Amino acid sequence: MAIQVCYFKKQKTEESIKNILGKIYKTNQNNIKKLEDYDDKAIINFQFTKFGNDSDFNYQLEIFVSNDLIISLGIFNNLILAIHLNKILEEEILINDESDDPYQWLLIKNNKLYLVEEYEDLQQGINLLYEKSIELNILKAINLLQNKDYYINNKAFDPYYIKNAKKWLTITL
């Protein structure tokens, strides 16, 4: 079972999340359940959480999906998922950059990918320094993250980690 996580600016209903995930993972909405209503027969379980009030990104979507489904559809990492979400929702999607820098994120906006920084504040949620964003090559970025071999070799329970946050700067446009 893999866990995929994305962050949003806007609230989503349970039905809209099921609809979106059904499109992305090519499954019937009956196969998608909220984590609190866990069903071991469900193909996908999810949790949508509000964790801030006055931040850029206040909502987190965690998706628990089988490795087999990830392999069959090629949705190997959060970036591929976020690209699908951005196309369907036409809104900004934020994901962790999997690096050693806790204030560095990847932002998908208007079908483009940006490396962005979070500024520290006392609020819950994530606030970004948009003026410091750097556009990245999406295809090269996908290749830096988890791929099919990661799941085939049963490493889904091992944390994926880019050891140096500056590695992202090697794939700028």
Residues 69/21, Cβ–Cβ less than 8 Å: no
Quick: pLDDT tens for 45-101.
Answer: 999 999 877 889 999 999 999 888 998 999 999 999 999 999 999 999 999 999 889
Quick: pLDDT tens for 120-167.
Answer: 877 778 999 999 999 999 999 988 887 877 777 766 556 666 777 888
The strand pair at 44-50 and 112-118 is best described as unpaired
Residue 7: closest CA among 119, 120, 89:
89
Which residues are within 8 A (CB) of 87 and not within 5 positions of it... i.e. 6 or more apart?
A: 111
Does the pLDDT of residue 40 top 90, yes or no?
Answer: no
Does the pLDDT of residue 103 top 80, yes or no?
Answer: yes
Residue 4: closest CA among 103, 144, 145:
145
Domain count, the chain: 1
Residues 149/78, Cβ–Cβ less than 8 Å: no
CA distance 80 to 110: 14
End-to-end C-alpha distance for the chain, whole angstroms:
34
Quick: pLDDT tens for 4-37.
Answer: 999 999 999 999 999 999 999 999 999 999 999 8
Residue 161: closest CA among 112, 120, 114, 104:
104
Question: 21: domain range?
Answer: 2-171
CA distance 49 to 58: 8
